[in-house]
Structure 1
Amino acid sequence: MTDSTPAELDRLATAAAAAFAATAASTDAERAAWLRAVATELDAHAHELVAIADGETALGETRLRGEVARTTGQLRLFADVVEEGSYLEAVIDHAVPDAAPPRPDLRRMLRPVGPVAVFAASNFPFAFSVAGGDTASALAVGCPVIVKAHPGHPELSRRVASLVSQALAGAGAPDGVFALVEGREAGVALIEHPAIAAGSFTGSVAGGRALADRAAARPSPIPFFGELGSINPVVVTEAADAARGAALAQGLAGSFQLGAGQFCTKPGIVFVPDGSALESALPAHVGSAPHRLLTDAIDRGFRAGLAHLAAVPGAEVVAGRAADDGIPQPLVYAVDLDTFATHLETLSAEVFGPVTLLVRYGSAADLPAVLARLEGSLTATIHAEDADDVTPVLDVLAARAGRVLFAGWPTGVAVTWSQHHGGPWPSTTSQHTSVGATAARRFQRPIAYQDAPERVLPAALREGNPLSIPRRVDGALRLP
């Protein structure tokens, strides 16, 4: 990978700042056309892109083809979002001169913040990378984007960036609206560049925290949206285990081994009753085929995490087998609830890769106190039967996760209007989502106009609703 020079970075950031005047003034229809053009271009080159991605990541053609479809689907979703218009959160309160005190005419909406620095992820070379959800949601609301490529897939990053740039130019987007930089030093300089108005990141807690600290330490601090570490706890009730433990074992095995365990939503800790059918059935579904991890850093982190698990007294391997010095293989560890509570800091640390931890409990009444000590996660899952009272567990998990599942497994994040992919620290650095329609909210800020003449108001706030968008007028939601 060829690192971007300071001069090149400065040129690209300056161009992004210049482009912002045009993107901020662009119409929703224009930006929707840009996004759809990028989606069409990526779809047209899917075969080529999948081959490049598989050569760099070994994630397999089936997985990568699905990820291309997710990526282009995200782009088209955000095109729909901006055309629908509610993302602007337009609010109008007409003047009430005889109120005490008199109330002026106030009109509020969201506007783009400016150029955004996007830090690509390693584990999703399409959907959370160069043309992923962060890029799509920023462009959708009128923010130019500079992506810092991930070193785990450099050739793919360059090719996708080339296609994105080509598509945007062909659709009439202004020069400077999109760019790619490479190299660690370029990434640090990018988050500190005065032209950058916000940053987004998907990756490790350490890397995200370092960038967040730099964003906060700037002379003019900027918002930084990091999607970081997550253990995604799962609770299986006694009734659920008795009714379908074998099926749950198969589902768990598929989820924690998916993509060699390199998903931010991998179920990392699973609370099961003593003597569970799930635990008994699990070994049959844990593979022995080694799978290289995406980067050397992930491999080192995985091995260090396994060493920490193995060092806890009472921790035992109950499925899979530890690798020799070769490529990592899937593993399942188990401890009892008392051991977990005693060594919670070690045992609740995320281990990124194909491993999960079973925690055996004797009484469900003991779970809430232990669950309350867990850090924040992107997800939490409850497997229960209809007669189960899961309220005590649910109350605790809902306070610690951004998405709570009651069926299925957390790997697989649907890209929809209602999706939330975020959660308390350390899963994210904010309460916003990085997936779904409201991901665009990260790159907007509110502005209110008081007693402004009609002629200077943005179209979204004019009296006749010329954009035909949903608005709240004098406290009442008005649909077009």
Structure 2
Amino acid sequence: MQITGQMLIGKKVVFGLAGNAKAIDPSINQEIEPVFGFAITDEVEQACLLAEQAFDSYRTTSLEQRARFLEAIATGIMDLGPVLIERAAQETGLPVARLEGERGRTVNQLRLFAKVVRDGHWLDATIDSALPERAPPRPDLRLQKIALGPVAVFGASNFPLAFSVAGGDTASALAAGCPVVVKAHNAHLGTSELVGRVIQRAVADCALHEGVFSMLIGAGSQVGQQLVAHAAIKAVGFTGSRSGGLALVKTASQRKEPIPVYAEMSSINPVFLLDQALASQTTTLAKNFVDSLTLGAGQFCTNPGLVIAIESAAARQFLQDAARALEDKHAATMLTPGIHQAYLKGTSHLAEISQLQLVAKGQQAESVCAAQAVLSVCSGTTFLTTPALQEEIFGPSSIAILCKDFEEVIAVASSLEGQLTATVHAISDDHAQARKLLPVLEKKAGRILFNGFPTGVEVAHAMVHGGPFPATSDSRSTSVGAAAIERFLRPVCYQGFPADLLPAALQDNNPLQVARMMDGKLTLAS
């Protein structure tokens, strides 16, 4: 498949005229052909209007047709073969093995949502039968969820496949019955075009309205802000910086019709090492922590940016073991020159905090955009009195916090902002302390891990990839897993309807054979 530098607006391919740019190979900091054109206002307008025109026909497609569409996208991505992986590696500096794994995750979540669509549980079909003899009488009431409307999706820099053009936001929105307009991330434009063309082809092959999918390209925030402000757009999926996410939330809230923005923004993902677990597994915990910290050059939203323990001989041994492991880690290429510069700025600011001590650094960078890992340490008191230590540094940097006692551990946990994850390492002798810590962490994080590390997010029904602000803009949602579809649905009640006008999921004979709540009891079939 040829990369042309064009956007995809419905069934058309368009070279934007509002400026242009090339993708960059971060390993050598050089531009890659071809030139990509940026969208003008009229092209944003056209993509949004097409999505609006597609909405009614797409949201009423059969469950089977929508599921097959998602599966066609998954198959098309795999059919791109090495062309996709090679381009993604060139644009991101990520190793081939990592990208092949990410491709597998991307197609698996598309197939998961195909299964979710077929199952129909997301419809929440509910029937409360009429009670004409009751005083006052109760009418026949039936509920199902329907698609919210066209969704704007923003590709993420750190996952060129799984959180990008055909990533989780797109997959869950399409599964819900929402047309999607994607704003491709400028860090991987060629990768985005390849995947976008797969979706465009699947739309045509499945005989869907062309407006079900469009992909735009733009510089800075202009195209994104236009998308979020457009009246046709009814929800937004975003993964990126806190500043970027909050800018979109502001625009969405100031519209004549405010809309939800599901923004995943920033998280430092604390790891708590309780006493007995730390004493009995010191070296193993140190090695696994460093592996998690440096995975993918630390460019994961679940990167462990804090590790918390009580001051002890075991804690000091942990730092020594972690230092040795870190010093063996090679500097890894970061995704873009901009991300690399932000990482250098963030670690430089940390070095200026006098009460923060350097524990160790990884090996020095040999290429222009490579990140040298950094581990620092401070006391619990320092952390509690230094707000800057809660700021996310996107990359392989972490801070160890040595607390004077367990009460200070609780104080540190209580002071944290909202997080995507929180991790507890404990053995049975630590469970009394864990019982006191866990209620605090439940208020702080969307996913709590026990005896693991947070990097790695399973695509499954029970997964939650979200959390209280500023981890996300809406703590009630997840951007990964089957429940991600809920973001793009809303309930409708049908009161006193004639049988022949009811949606299929609510008809008495249950033609879709979906699970339903019937007069307060769950039923699996008619």
TM-score range, shorter chain: over 0.9
Aligned to 1:228: 265
Q: Which amino acid aligns with 1:115?
A: P
Deviates further, 443-452 or 286-295? 286-295
Taking the aligned partners of 1:2 and 1:362, their CA distance within structure 2 comes to: 57
Q: In the alignment, does 2:435 pair up with 1:391?
A: yes
**Following TM superposition, by how much is the alpha carbon of 1:24 offset from its aligned partner in structure 2, in angstroms?**
1.3
User: Contact 1:46/1:65 (CA < 8 Å) preserved in 2?
Assistant: no
Q: In the alignment, does 2:438 pair up with 1:425?
A: no
- State which of 191, 200, 203 in structure 1 corresponds to 2:240: 203
Q: How do residues 32-431 of structure 1 correspond to structure 2 at under 5 angstroms?
A: 32-183=67-218, 184-274=221-311, 275=313, 276=315, 277-286=317-326, 287-320=328-361, 327-343=370-386, 345-388=387-430, 389=432, 390-430=434-474, 431=476
Taking the aligned partners of 2:111 and 2:355, their CA distance within structure 1 comes to: 50
Deviates further, 277-286 or 230-239? 277-286
Structure 1 unmatched ranges of 5 or more: none
SS in 2 for 1:100: coil
- State which of 496, 500, 505 in structure 2 corresponds to 1:455: 500
Q: How many residues align?
A: 479
Aligned to 1:445: 490
SS in 1 for 2:100: helix
Taking the aligned partners of 2:133 and 2:305, their CA distance within structure 1 comes to: 60
SS in 2 for 1:176: helix
TM normalised by structure 2 equals 0.89
Deviates further, 3-12 or 467-476? 3-12
User: Contact 1:121/1:203 (CA < 8 Å) preserved in 2?
Assistant: yes
- C-alpha offsets along residues 141-189 of structure 1, whole Å, 9 cap, x if unaligned? 1110010000111111111101111122112222111110011321111
Taking the aligned partners of 2:514 and 2:361, their CA distance within structure 1 comes to: 55
Q: Which amino acid aligns with 1:285?
A: A
* Identical-pair percentage: 42
SS in 1 for 2:146: strand
TM normalised by structure 1 equals 0.97
**Following TM superposition, by how much is the alpha carbon of 1:61 offset from its aligned partner in structure 2, in angstroms?**
0.1
Q: Which amino acid aligns with 2:193?
A: R
SS in 1 for 2:37: coil
Aligned to 1:31: 66
Aligned to 1:21: 56
Q: Which amino acid aligns with 2:80?
A: H
Q: 1:101 to 1:246 in 2, by over 3 A?
A: same
Q: Which amino acid aligns with 1:348?
A: Q
User: Contact 2:330/2:363 (CA < 8 Å) preserved in 1?
Assistant: no
**Following TM superposition, by how much is the alpha carbon of 1:288 offset from its aligned partner in structure 2, in angstroms?**
4.4
Structure 2 unmatched ranges of 5 or more: 1-35
**Following TM superposition, by how much is the alpha carbon of 1:321 offset from its aligned partner in structure 2, in angstroms?**
5.3
**Following TM superposition, by how much is the alpha carbon of 1:324 offset from its aligned partner in structure 2, in angstroms?**
8.1
**Following TM superposition, by how much is the alpha carbon of 1:365 offset from its aligned partner in structure 2, in angstroms?**
2.7
Deviates further, 155-164 or 205-214? 155-164
State the superposition RMSD in angstroms.
1.4
Taking the aligned partners of 1:220 and 1:322, their CA distance within structure 2 comes to: 52
Q: Which amino acid aligns with 1:269?
A: L
SS in 1 for 2:137: coil
**Following TM superposition, by how much is the alpha carbon of 1:309 offset from its aligned partner in structure 2, in angstroms?**
1.6
Deviates further, 433-442 or 164-173? 164-173
**Following TM superposition, by how much is the alpha carbon of 1:40 offset from its aligned partner in structure 2, in angstroms?**
0.4
User: Contact 2:309/2:409 (CA < 8 Å) preserved in 1?
Assistant: no
Task: Provide runs of 4+ in structure 1 moved above 6 Å.
Answer: none
